[in-house]
Amino acid sequence: MARWPKPEEGSWTEHYGLSTAPVSYEDSISPEFYELEREAVFKRAWLNVGRVEQLPRTGSYFTKELAVARTSVIVVKDKDGGVRAFHNICRHRGNKLVWNDFPGEETSGTCRQFVCKYHGWRYDLDGALSFVQQENEFFDLEKDAYGLVPVHCDVWAGFIFVNLADEPEQPLREFLGPMVTALEEYPFEKQSERWFYRATVNSNWKLFMDAFQEFYHAPVLHGNETPPDWSIPAQQAGFEAPYYGVDGPHRLVSTAGVHPWNLPQGMLKPMEVLTRSGLFGPWDVPDLGPNARPPGLNPAGCDPWGLDSFQIFPNFVILVWGQGWYLTYHYWPTAANQHVFECSLYFVPAKTARERMAHELAALSFKEYGHQDANTLEATQSMLESRVLERFPLCDQEVLCRHLHEVTAQWVDEYKKQRENAEA
Amino acid sequence: MSDALLPSEFSDLEPFAATWCLATEDERYQQRLASTMDEMQAFYDAVVPRADAAMTYCDQFPLDDLPGEARNLLYLLFSMVMVSFPVEAFGQPHIPDTGAAYLDCLVAPGP
């Protein structure tokens, strides 16, 4: 007996017009498909590269390595307070412009202008070439024609996006669509206390997206992180989401919550009681102001409400917790069977040691669970590559996994058609 | 004792201070992986009954301006959270079935 009503079609999968047949994961093991994805997805979609809090003042910058597009971008706050992005390459001899010690590592800081380490060419914050070392040695050099190569860049709700296409097919807001932009008023900016985790994971990027867009796995894979009084009934009950959303290439899963402070002590760990916190966040919800629950959140009207996880195509997740904090995930492909996973956790800055302790337990709980998810992916990738099996059955709680792979295939097909038309 | 790391009210925890008053998440995680369950259980058993008083002590001061001894005490509490997972849940220093995985903590809030 379902605990939550299904759509009238009988399943979320059919409600969103998706196939119910077993699926192929060829798209997660094929180097050829990965090459297509790089062009069709990562050089056409808007990609989130950070938040405005990372650029606090004029001249603040950070670099972002985009191995999937074989480039690096500089993101900077210009003199007018706008955010700009450039390919991280000097116009003179092609040296990477901004880096420290290790050319392949990301960096950040504040500067008045960008100076190339190689021959000292300088660029203003708006990308204009401002100084050439021994300029009179050059031949007819028009400095105006040698500014940094711009990358399309736009900001939504404090999230900075870039688009590597010559001309993006849609403006950012239109790309994000109404399901995501309904979050716009949520007070992300008040939650500036940040944890940032990163790992290289030996799996295709979509497999980790899949791991965090279904919770069917949660009572099983993470059972040993909770006391038996919690984990045994949780596994017996299984997981059901009250709501799944799909809007264009983007997805949403919403869950019901619990009030841990009302649970029998045997279901909780002593540290949760001591710090009044846990995986789902601090028990004491901070004051997020009047926009703590914009219309886009808690679509099933759960009380208590657990979380909404917005899966923003292609590789970005915003997960808003009912307990008044949020996190983001990024999955940056580096090969068909490898990606860099990044997670940022954001809280209203702790004012007391007690509040800070609640954040500490939430952050470390994320790390515990995240390890288990990441490790499992390597086990999945290696066996998918055996090609012993070609088709895998997905249940209705895995509807979003199905959607991601279908959307990715659609983008690749569209790209192939565009390319054929251009050649014809 | 002039070389004490912790406030005098918490001198009973001083035997654990040199090992567990660690400033970064990575140091605390590495210390967990390098410790035996017996060592972590002893630390946990000593610090948990004192944790509420320790938080109250730290909260006399602004979080962004903790005196050195109070900051050490908070680091000790962070280590208590770090060892709580093996002690309370799975009985081994490393997370079960995660041999190939890691998650580096590159940014964490102070203190």
The answer as to whether A231 is a domain residue is: yes
Q: Do A357 and B88 touch (CB under 8 A)?
A: no
Give, as one character, the DSSP assignment of residue A413: H
Low-confidence ranges of chain B (pLDDT < 70): 1-2
CATH at A381: 3.90.380.10
Whether the Cβ atoms of residue A174 and residue A155 lie closer than 8 Å to each other: no
| Mean pLDDT over the full length of chain B | 95
Low-confidence ranges of chain A (pLDDT < 70): 1-2
What pLDDT sits at residue A227? 87
What pLDDT sits at residue A238? 87
What pLDDT sits at residue A142? 96
For A18-67, how does the pLDDT look when each residue is reduced to its tens digit (9 = 90+)? Answer: 999 999 999 999 999 999 999 999 999 999 999 999 999 999 999 999 99
The reply to whether A36 and A57 lie within a common domain is no
The answer as to whether B85 is a domain residue is: yes
Alpha carbon of residue A365 to chain centroid: 19
**DSSP characters over A309-368:** EEEETTTEEEEEETTTEEEEEEEEEEETTEEEEEEEEEEPPP-SHHHHHHHHHHHHHHHH
The answer as to whether B95 is a domain residue is: no
Distance (Å, whole) CA B97 – CA A376: 8
pTM of the model: 0.96
Bridge partners of A100, per DSSP, are A102
Q: Do A271 and B102 touch (CB under 8 A)?
A: no
Bridge partners of A328, per DSSP, are A318, A344
The answer as to whether B40 is a domain residue is: yes
Contacts of A378 in chain B (CB under 8 A): 100-101
The reply to whether A202 and A350 lie within a common domain is yes
Distance (Å, whole) CA A389 – CA A24: 9
The answer as to whether A356 is a domain residue is: yes
Contacts of B108 in chain A (CB under 8 A): 195-196, 363
Sheet of A305-312: strand order equals A243-247, A250-256, A305-312, A316-321, A325-335, A338-347, A193-201, B104-107
What's the one-letter identity of residue A285?
Answer: V
What pLDDT sits at residue B97? 85
SS (H, E, C) A76-92: EECCCCCEEEEECECCC
What pLDDT sits at residue A220? 85
* Signed CA dihedral, A195, A200, A202, A207: sign only: positive
Contacts of B33 in chain A (CB under 8 A): none
What pLDDT sits at residue B2? 58
Question: Which candidate from B90, B100, B107 shows the least CB-CB separation from A195?
Answer: B107
Q: Which domain holds residue A393?
A: 12-40+178-423
Dihedrals phi, psi of A254, to nearest 5 degrees: -115, 145
Pick from A127, A145, A167: which residue ends a domain? Answer: A167
The answer as to whether A16 is a domain residue is: yes
The answer as to whether A61 is a domain residue is: yes
Q: Do B78 and A193 touch (CB under 8 A)?
A: no
Number of domains in chain B: 1
The reply to whether A277 and A237 lie within a common domain is yes
What pLDDT sits at residue A235? 85
Give, as one character, the DSSP assignment of residue A220: H
For B79-109, how does the pLDDT look when each residue is reduced to its tens digit (9 = 90+)? Answer: 999 999 999 999 999 998 888 888 999 999 9
Residue of B nearest to A377 (CA): B101
Give the minimum alpha-carbon distance from B77 to chain A in angstroms, rounded to a whole number. 8
The reply to whether A209 and A335 lie within a common domain is yes
Give, as one character, the DSSP assignment of residue A41: I
What pLDDT sits at residue A2? 67
Number of domains in chain A: 2
The reply to whether A257 and A152 lie within a common domain is no
For A308-355, how does the pLDDT look when each residue is reduced to its tens digit (9 = 90+)? Answer: 999 999 999 999 999 999 999 999 999 999 999 999 999 999 999 999
> A382: Cβ–Cβ under 8 A, 6 or more apart, which residues?
A202
* ipTM associated with this complex: 0.97
Q: Do A352 and B107 touch (CB under 8 A)?
A: no
Residue of B nearest to A378 (CA): B100
Q: Do A198 and B104 touch (CB under 8 A)?
A: yes
The reply to whether A36 and A54 lie within a common domain is no
Dihedrals phi, psi of B83, to nearest 5 degrees: -85, -10
Give the minimum alpha-carbon distance from A294 to chain B in angstroms, rounded to a whole number. 27
